[in-house]
Amino acid sequence: MAQPIPTSRILRRLLASGAHGRAANLLGRIHPADVGPLLGDLGPDEIRTVVELLFRQQRAENLLRELPFELLGDVMEALGDSRLAEVLGRLEVDDVAELVDALPETRREAILERLPQQRQRELKRLELYPASSAGRVMTTSYVALDETMTSAEAVESIRASGDLADSILYLYVVDENHCLRGVVPIRRLVASPSDRTCGELMLPEPVRVTPEVDQEEVARIVARYDLLAVPVTDADGTLLGVITVDDVIDVITEEATEDMYHLAGLSEEDRVFSPPRLAIRKRLPWMVLNLATVILAASVVALFEHTLEQMVSLALFLPVVGGMAGNGGIQALTVTTRGIALGEIEFSTGIRAVTKETIVGLSLGAATGLICALLAFAWSGNPYLGFVLFLSLVVTLTFAGLFGAAVPLALKAIGQDPALGAGVIVTTFTDAFGFLTFLGSATLLLDRLH
């Protein structure tokens, strides 16, 4: 497969010369997931032409499903309301719900009215569930079997399901009230004698979730039990839908992106192809907040202006203390945030994580402080300067580990995202505390340092 950059050049050349047939052949050889990055290099008219070519190939719905969120607006704008409704009508209901949310308010109602009545009812049912819940990401397309059905009859049921057969991972056994009784893996069904019943083949009491469960918890369940799909049932056990592994991968990607962006103080709308104006608008508030925290750390340095005036060489080591403190805090923060995200840490057991990160910080501070002390002694010939650096790094990295682990746990305890703003809080604390420790100990030993 051609690389994205040269392929986009070829595609633009074909579109500019009017060779739409050859452009269609080229698009036919590219997976929909690889078409998205190409559209970032195209103008609105070129995007409209590409979408039209994919529409003729009955592949426009696959493109919408695979597109990066920041390109959805341009592509959906290239489709008229009727055509967009036709494309959405060929997608699974969970994909439709996600794409409808990305539509402008001015178009959403008009397009929803053009969808089939059955699809409209399914979308309204999904809207009853909280955002980012299992009910929002489940698909209602699955194969349900009766306990008395033989394996041969089950295979015929799969054949009769048509296009749905391509996405079947498990077969779900239900009773007369459509309550989930068990699950039959495809491999077990194929390998069994034709007269075995589904009740005999099924795995009883399968892992399941309710539609209100957070999608992040669903991802953890899939990873913990090595599943390919998770059934969604109501409180009475009635089978409502299925969450497949491809949806789980999307959830993992979405949640990982959210945590990564929050740690960096970014908005999820700020993506690679986002307009510069949007990026500036989203980043500026965080940069102003970061500026305030930097000024706060600098104000600590200002308290020791007299010390720095008497021994200017101390200023050379401020970046060392600040950099080590920030790195130590971010490392502890990252490990703890990941543990919370994966369900490895709860607030009740968080004291172990805080203790562990504090001990790690103390050990790292002792090791790096000793190295820094020896280098400072070799440079200045003054052992007291080395002692001040050693002491400040030990104390600073110890508290960096403490803050890095405690802050996300505290945010989680008050119902906030552990990653949201934690990076700014931790770096502010560690920088200010590091400068205070270093310059404070230097002030106490100033006569020895001269």
Proportion of the chain above pLDDT 70, given as a percent? 90
pLDDT, tens only, 392-437: 999 999 999 999 899 888 888 887 777 666 677 788 888 888 899 9
Whether the predicted model's global pTM rises above the 0.85 cut: no
Scan for tokens 């996600």, then name that residue.
98
What is the mean pLDDT of the segment spanning 121-139? 86
Q: Quick one: CA dihedral 60, 64, 66, 71, positive or negative?
A: positive
Residue 168 has pLDDT above 60, yes or no: yes
**Nearest 5°: phi and psi at 182?**
-175, 180
Distance CA 304, CA 325 (A): 19
Q: Are residues 180 and 287 in the same domain?
A: no
pLDDT at 2: 43
Q: What percent of the chain has pLDDT over 90?
A: 20
3-state SS string for 117-130? HHHHHHHHHHCCCC
> For residues 56 and 232, which has the higher predicted lDDT (pLDDT)?
232
Distance (Å) of CA 298 to CA 32, 313, 317, 440, 446: 51, 17, 14, 14, 21
Backbone angles phi, psi at 197, to 5 degrees: -90, 160
Q: Are residues 82 and 24 in the same domain?
A: yes
112 in any annotated domain: yes
In a domain, 77, yes or no: yes
Q: What is the pLDDT of residue 231?
A: 94
Residue 332 included in any domain = yes
CATH of residue 301's domain is: 1.10.357.20
pLDDT attached to residue 397 = 94
Residue 314 DSSP label: G
Cβ-contact 233, 240 below 8 angstroms: yes
pLDDT at site 131 = 82
Q: Is 221 helix (H, G, I), strand (E, B) or coil?
A: helix
The helix (H) or strand (E) run that includes residue 181 is strand 180-185
| Count of domains for the chain | 3
Residue 298 has pLDDT above 80, yes or no: yes
Instruction: Give 251-278 pLDDT, tens digit per residue.
Output: 877 777 777 676 666 666 666 666 788 7
**Average pLDDT value for residue range 298-314:** 87
Residues 124 and 149 placed together within one structural domain of the fold = no
The pLDDT value recorded for residue 1 is 42
Euclidean distance between CA atoms 86 and 89, whole angstroms = 5
* Residue 23 and residue 121 in one domain: yes
Do 280 and 427 sit in the same domain of this protein?
yes
445 and 303 fall within a common domain: yes
Dihedral angle over CA of 308, 314, 316, 317, nearest 10:
-130
- Mean pLDDT over residues 148-160, rounded? 87
Residue 268 located in a structural domain: no
**Side chain identity at 181, as an amino acid letter?**
R
Beta carbons of 18 and 26 less than 8 angstroms apart: no
- Concatenated DSSP letters of 87-147: HHTTS-HHHHHHHHHTS-HHHHHHHHHHS-HHHHHHHHHHTTSPTTBHHHH-BS---EEET
175 has pLDDT over 70? yes
pLDDT at 52: 79
CA distances in angstroms from 75 to 44, 106, 230, 303, listed in the order given: 8, 16, 32, 56
Read off the CATH number of the domain in which 77 is found: 1.25.60.10
Best CA proximity match to 207, nearest among 230, 186, 234: 230
Mean pLDDT of 221-243: 90
Same domain, 159 and 87: no
Q: Name the pLDDT band for 448 (thresholds 50, 70, 90).
A: confident
List, for residues 52-69, the tens digit of each pLDDT value.
787 777 777 777 777 766
Within a 10 A sphere around the Cβ of 306, how many other Cβ atoms? 9
Average the pLDDT over 219-232 and give the result.
Answer: 88
pLDDT at 3 over 50: no
Q: Torsions phi, psi of 238, nearest 5?
A: -70, 130
Q: Is 191 part of any domain?
A: yes
Considering the domain architecture, whether residues 298 and 444 belong to the same structural domain is answered as yes
Q: Examine the fold and report which residue of 96, 128, 160 is the final residue of a domain before the chain moves on.
A: 128
- In the chain, what's the furthest Cα-to-Cα distance? 94
Structural domain boundaries enclosing 308: 276-449
- Position 270 in a domain: no
More confident residue, 28 or 361: 361
> Residue 22 falls within a domain, yes or no?
yes
Give the range among 72-86, 194-208, 365-379 with minimum mean pLDDT.
72-86
46 within 8 A of 35, measured Cβ to Cβ? no
- Reported as a pLDDT band with limits 50, 70 and 90, residue 447 is confident
Alpha-helical (H) ranges within 142-244 are: 151-160, 186-191, 198-201, 215-225
Look at residue 264 and tell me if it is in a domain. no
Last residue of a domain, one of 198, 225, 245: 245
Claim to verify: residue 315 and residue 443 sit in the same structural domain: yes
- How far lies 243's CA from each of 124, 250, 255, 277, 299, in Å? 18, 11, 16, 37, 52
Assess whether 282 and 404 both reside in one domain: yes
Q: Are residues 333 and 225 in the same domain?
A: no
> Is 13 a residue whose pLDDT tops 90?
no
> 114 and 159 in one domain?
no
